[in-house]
Amino acid sequence: MNEILHRVGVIAPQKDVYAALTTIDGLAGWWTEDTTGDPDGVLEFRFATAGGDGFDMKVLETSPELVRWEVVGGPEEWIGTEVSFELSQVDEFTIVLFKQAGWREPVEFMYHCSTKWATFLMSLKQYVETGKGEPAPNDVLVSNWH
């Protein structure tokens, strides 16, 4: 199994980062504006740059220290992977340990998703710190795959 890992530190209280990961408005502020669904059920993230495709995430756990989702809809490579955000406070930073676990093969798409997750986590940091992130459709472009 292969994992995408990232770590960012957000200069904000942990509860603010938690809200950005567990509410529709929060998620729409840094990942994709087209976020709908049930924060306690299945969340639906859509991306215009991907022709309207996106990801459906079943919320497995939401505690102040850990948010976990299972991918139940989206590209074949993503189905069954688990996305998690582990939160802790260190000085003025809320540390976010991000993981997408369960990639079956380290395909080129995984390389791409790793870089995109990094830019979206920097968008999360910016959103919580300043009120304005860079969610899709105005996300940072990293390559020909957007």
50 forms part of the interface with a second copy (CB under 8 A): no
Contacting a second copy within 82-121 (CB under 8 A): 90-91, 93, 95, 97-99, 106, 108, 110-112, 114-115, 118-119, 121
* Cα–Cα distance measured from residue 143 to residue 16, given in angstroms and rounded to the nearest whole number: 31
Among the listed residues 14, 122, 129, 134, the single contact to a second copy using CB under 8 A: 122
Binding mask 15-34 for a second copy (x = CB under 8 A): --------------------
Q: How far is the CB of 143 from a second copy (least distance, A)?
A: 3
Specify whether the backbone of 18 is left (phi greater than 0), alpha (psi in -120 to 50) or beta.
Answer: alpha
Residue whose CB is less far from a second copy, 25 or 143: 143
Token digits of residue 50: 């991907």
Distance, CA of 96 to CA of 9 (rounded, Å): 6
Q: What is the smallest separation between the CB atom of 104 and a second copy, expressed in angstroms?
A: 14
Ranges of beta strands (E only) in 1-146 are 2-11, 34-37, 42-46, 54-63, 66-73, 82-90, 93-103
Cβ–Cβ under 8 Å, residues 47 and 136: yes
Q: State in angstroms the smallest separation of the CB of 44 from a second copy.
A: 26
In angstroms, how far apart are the furthest CA atoms of the chain? 42
For a second copy, the closer CB: 27 or 116 = 116
Q: Which residues bind a second copy (CB under 8 A)?
A: 2-9, 90-91, 93, 95, 97-99, 106, 108, 110-112, 114-115, 118-119, 121-122, 125, 140, 142-145
